[in-house]
């Protein structure tokens, strides 16, 4: 019980020292990009048009491709940056949880520890 509580604190401090700064920067940049998207793209009108013209999945993707190709350059850049940064955040979040799960599994003796020669 005591070991578990201590290890939780260790993981907590490790997370805020190693992972949180990079994740905070990525989320901050994503927030700024989303503010730009809000300024240049009328999400309400785009979603209304998408819902009205999308009768199937293929027609939705066709609408999205057509709408994206006919927007201004800054809107394309902002939407592309949002998508790319979203993928990076998902990748980093997946890595974080994978590392934490592996550390807990190694700590519990469920996975053998690799030793170097």
pLDDT at 2: 84
Which whole number is the average pLDDT over 99-106? 76
Q: What is the pTM of this model?
A: 0.60
Whether residue 79 contacts residue 37, with contact meaning beta carbons closer than 8 Å, is answered with yes
The C-alpha atoms of residue 75 and residue 73 are separated, in whole angstroms, by 5
pLDDT digits (tens, 9 = 90+) for 38-71: 888 888 888 888 888 878 888 888 888 888 899 8
pLDDT at 27: 84
pLDDT at 112: 63
Question: Residue ranges of the domains in the chain?
Answer: 26-107
């Amino acid at each position: 019980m005591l070991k578990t509580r201590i290890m939780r604190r260790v993981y907590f401090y490790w997370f805020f020292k190693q992972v949180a700064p990079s994740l905070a920067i990525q989320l901050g940049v994503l927030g700024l990009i989303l503010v730009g998207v809000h300024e240049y793209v009328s999400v309400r009108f785009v979603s209304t048009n998408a819902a009205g013209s999308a009768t199937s999945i293929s027609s939705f993707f066709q609408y999205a491709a057509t709408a994206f190709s006919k927007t201004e350059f800054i809107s394309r850049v902002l939407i592309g940056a949002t998508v790319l940064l979203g993928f990076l955040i998902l990748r980093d979040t997946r890595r974080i949880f994978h590392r934490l799960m592996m550390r807990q599994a190694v700590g519990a003796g469920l996975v053998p520890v690799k030793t170097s020669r």
